[in-house]
Chain A
Amino acid sequence: MSRIAARFAELKKQGRGALIPFLEAYDPDPATSMALLRGLPGAGADLIEIGVPFTDPMADGPIIQLASQRALKAGATMAGVLAMVRDFRTEDTTTPIILMGYLNPILSYGAERFVTDAQASGVDGLIVVDMPPEEAEVLAPTALAAGLDIIRLVAPTTDDERLPLVLKASSGFVYYVALAGITGTRSADPEALRKAIPRVRQHTDLPIAIGFGIRTPEQAGEASRIADGAVVGSALVDTLHKSLDEQGRARPDSVRLVLDQVRGLAEAVRSGG
């Protein structure tokens, strides 16, 4: 069983959903980013999403755009991101790691080489934002053969006709985009989610996580109960951003502030409402 499947199965037994924090790799520097990654499981992360920096993140709002810019300025590369995961795996062999990013840096690295290295580094799944099922040939077959899950976004705009196509191409879990929009700009509407998630469930047995527009512990708790997990990204990245000094450098309490916020989110996800 893959780490992702094992983790969702375990959480199901516990009767709760997953907290999936997102942080951009190398933001604001490799050492701080690594310290955050190491601290996440202890703070209550059930799975971890790591953003792979790209110059043109077209599905992301200003908070994650800025994080990508900080990360690239700090020297982020695909090889560097994979090295972080490898480091993380020396201490943690159970928390699933999902890389989230855009296709071009993967193609530039070489799709096959990327799959080989990602698998060897301990990556469990991939979210490639600008790779819909129609364009997945270049990466998905190789990734799946290597045991890497291809986690797909399902959006409010994904209609019933298209839904089976998207879900058929998904593995690991399904990432439900709570609102038609970009990351970190609006809040998800729980009523809409209560209607949307059962619609997706009809077509899949995979766990469903909700992301985009989940900021507060209350929202995370609610989303994790409506579905099987909640992804929180921009809210954490924003905290990190606000903790930096005028030159954009981490301060002594940057890591603690972000991990404390993760603890708050984890508590809400675990409290059972």
Chain B
Amino acid sequence: MNKPVTPPVRPNTFKSGPDSAGRFGGFGGRYVAETLMPLILEVEAAYAAAKKDPGFDKEWRRLLKDYVGRPSPLWLAERLTEHCASLAPRRGDGAKIYFKREDLNHTGAHKINAVLGQILLARRMGKKRVIAETGAGQHGVATATACALFGLPCTVFMGATDVERQKPNVFRMKLLGAEVVPVTSGAATLKDAMNEALRHWVSNVDDTYYCIGTVAGPHPYPVMVRDFQSVIGEEVRWQLAEFEGEGRLPDVLSAAIGGGSNALGLFYPFLDDPSVEIYGVEAGGHGVDTPEHAASLTGGRPGVLHGNRTYLLQDEHGQILEGHSISAGLDYPGIGPEHSWLHEMGRVKYENATDKEALDAFQLCTKLEGIIPALEPAHALAHVLRLAPTLPADKIIVMCMSGRGDKDIFTVADHLGVSI
């Protein structure tokens, strides 16, 4: 066993949630129609049983290694580190920046980690088909991929607006054999896709597994997706020790947040290490002082949507507002309930980055590191670029590079006024 690197006694833990009702403090729960309630309970029981089965974990880890390509590398971004040092107000400052390369996973993002876990679960439960919602299409592609691997029919619900702006991923899903259903209700984006997936699930209760893409939705999804994604932070723990010496923890963690699954995957294993400062970065859109953003914690208040109580973008009457972000993966009006709790506990600090900051970070990263980031982690990078120059050179920042940016080049070109 490793030498303990945290004070041995802590008065409490940030890792004990959720309780048996699926709550993290006042957040989470199971706010679903009675028709769905028995299904949710069935998923919960099946997941509890799977967690106790070493064979389940073994099979999941085999897939992560041989199919996904895990562990994903931890990359010391030297040129970005130098860049930040050159901007440091005090000579000699500038924290060291590492990327956790989830973009190198098969399918190009962190989503596949939790999808494989859930598809294995669906198989254990004897489910014959799988449905999923998707925004940018990353979760849809991951789900379609896993379904192709296991020969399961797959239906992906995607807002019609997103179908239009994420054409490459739509085609990818179709190639993988999935049916893509454009959702035209509401504003035809991610939240409406999730509504439609829930409606479809209610109507096909016997044979269908709903594979949720983030740490939101009714219990047990937030905890289940978090558990699977925690592989990210667990790897960072030993990988950083290989670079920096036994016991060295990061000083800062940073990750972008839509629903918040890559962030929680990175954060969770470090929640009880008080020396680690943790930052979640929400999508600031055109600015959190405008109506055009997707920063649920900064600009929202608690409410109930999609089966859980959490911070939501909503009007004074409790009607849900549309999130806006340049990144289709972040424009969700809610956030995982555990993030809401961590926010209220003050354990994680939630900041935001605007569309423009993300675009700038996207370009800088591409030029300096030869890594084209997805627009989602470009938000985290924008935060890192603000923070790193203000920290001493012996500080270490680990940022989750949650996905690759190939899917976003059309959007970026559009914003830069380039036609391709």
List the interface of chain A (C-beta within 8 A of B).
Answer: 54-62, 65, 69, 72, 77-78, 102-109, 129-132, 134-135, 152-159, 162, 166, 177, 180-182, 185-186
Determine if A104 and B314 form an interchain contact, defined as CB atoms under 8 angstroms apart: yes
A105 touches B319 (CB 8 A): yes
Query: What chain A residues lie within 8 Å of B21 (beta carbons)?
Result: 134
Given contacts A58-B198, A177-B34, 6 further A-B contacts (CB under 8 A): A77-B317, A104-B304, A108-B314, A132-B34, A157-B35, A180-B203
- Closest CB-CB distance, B412 to chain A, in whole Å? 31
* Contact in complex: B32, A132 (CB < 8 Å): yes
What residues of B have a CB within 8 angstroms of the CB of A107 in the complex? 303-304, 318
Instruction: Say yes or no: A135 contacts B35, CB within 8 Å.
Output: no
In the complex, the answer to whether A132 meets B205 with C-beta atoms within 8 Å is no
Across-interface contacts of A185 in B (CB, < 8 A):
203
Contact with A along B167-203 (1 / 0, CB 8 A): 0000000000000000001100001100100110011
B71 within 8 A of A: no
Contact B303 A162 (CB under 8 A): no
CB distance from B24 to the nearest CB of A (A): 15
- The interface size bin for chain B is 35 or more
State whether A157 touches B205 (Cβ < 8 A): yes
Query: Nearest Cβ distance between residue A218 and chain B, in whole angstroms?
Result: 23
Contact B320 A130 (CB under 8 A): no
Q: Check A58/B303 contact, CB under 8 A, given A109-B318, A155-B35.
A: no
A153 neighbours in B (Cβ, 8 Å) = 33-35
Q: Residues of A contacting B401 with CB < 8 Å?
A: none
Bound Cα distance from A186 to B185, whole angstroms: 19
Q: Which of B291-308 contact A (CB under 8 A)?
A: 303-307
Flag whether B260 is at the interface (Cβ < 8 A): no
B32, A130: Cβ atoms under 8 Å? yes
Distance between B19 CB and nearest chain A CB, rounded to angstroms: 12
Contact B30 A132 (CB under 8 A): yes
The answer to whether A108 and B35 have CB atoms under 8 Å apart is: no
Partner of B320, one of A56, A59, A131, A186: A56
In the assembled complex, 11 residue pairs joining A and B whose CB atoms fall closer than 8 Å, in A order, are A102-B304, A107-B318, A108-B318, A130-B304, A134-B21, A135-B29, A135-B31, A157-B37, A177-B34, A180-B203, A182-B199
Q: Is B276 an interface residue (CB 8 A)?
A: no
Asked if A182 contacts B203 (CB within 8 A), the reply is yes
CB pair B303–A108 under 8 Å, yes or no, is yes
Q: Is the CB of B29 within 8 A of A56?
A: no
Distance in angstroms between the alpha carbons of A105 and B38 in the assembled complex: 25
A154 to B192, CA, bound (A): 25
Q: Among the listed B37, B191, B199, B305, which residue makes an inter-chain contact with A132, where contact means beta carbons less than 8 Å apart? A: B37
Q: A54 to B186, alpha carbons, bound, how many Å? A: 11
Query: From residue B10, how far is it (CB to closest CB) to chain A in Å?
Result: 30
**Chain A residue at minimal CB-CB distance from B303:** A104
B35 touches A56 (CB 8 A): no
Q: Tell me, in angstroms, the Cα distance from A152 to B198 when the chains sit together.
A: 19
Return the 7 tightest CB-CB contacts between A and B, nearest first: A108-B318, A155-B35, A181-B203, A105-B318, A153-B34, A59-B33, A104-B318
Give bound CA distance, A56 to B187, whole Å. Answer: 10
Q: Closest approach, in angstroms, between the C-beta of A84 and any C-beta of chain B?
A: 15
A166 adjacent to B318 (CB under 8 Å):
no
A104 touches which one: B202, B203, B316, B320 (CB < 8 A)? Answer: B320
Cβ-neighbour of A131 out of B31, B198, B314 (below 8 A):
B31
Q: Is B39 an interface residue (CB 8 A)?
A: yes
Contact in complex: B38, A177 (CB < 8 Å): no
Which B residues are CB-close (under 8 A) to A158?
34-35, 37-38
Kindly state the separation between the CA atoms of A156 and B37 in the bound complex, as whole angstroms. Answer: 11
CB contact list, B15-60 vs A, under 8 A: 21, 29-39, 41
- Which of A56, A72, A104, A166 makes the CB contact (< 8 A) with B34? A166
Q: Which residues from chain B contact A135 at a C-beta distance below 8 Å? A: 29-31
**Shortest Cβ gap from A139 to chain B (Å):** 11
Question: By the criterion CB–CB under 8 Å, are B202 and A59 in contact?
Answer: yes
Taking CB atoms, residues of chain A closer than 8 Å to B34 are 132, 152-155, 157-158, 166, 177
CA distance A148 to B43 in the complex (A): 33
Q: Are B32 and A181 in contact (CB under 8 A)?
A: no
- CB pair B304–A58 under 8 Å, yes or no, is no
**Nearest Cβ distance between residue A109 and chain B, in whole angstroms?**
7
State the CA gap A112–B272 with chains docked (Å). Answer: 38
Residues of chain A lying within 8 A (CB to CB) of residue B320 = 55-56, 104
- Residues from chain B with a CB closer than 8 A to the CB of A108 are 303, 314, 316-318
What sequence of 0s and 1s flags, for each residue 188-225 of chain B, a beta carbon within 8 Å of any chain A beta carbon? 00011001001100110100000000000000000000
For the complex formed, measure the closest distance between the CB of B161 and the CB atoms of chain A, giving whole angstroms.
16
A5 to B305, CA, bound (A): 32
Known: A107-B303, A108-B303, A180-B202. A162 touches B186 (CB 8 A): no
Q: B76-116 interface mask toward A, CB cutoff 8 Å, 1 = contact, 0 = none?
A: 00000000000000000000000000000000000000000
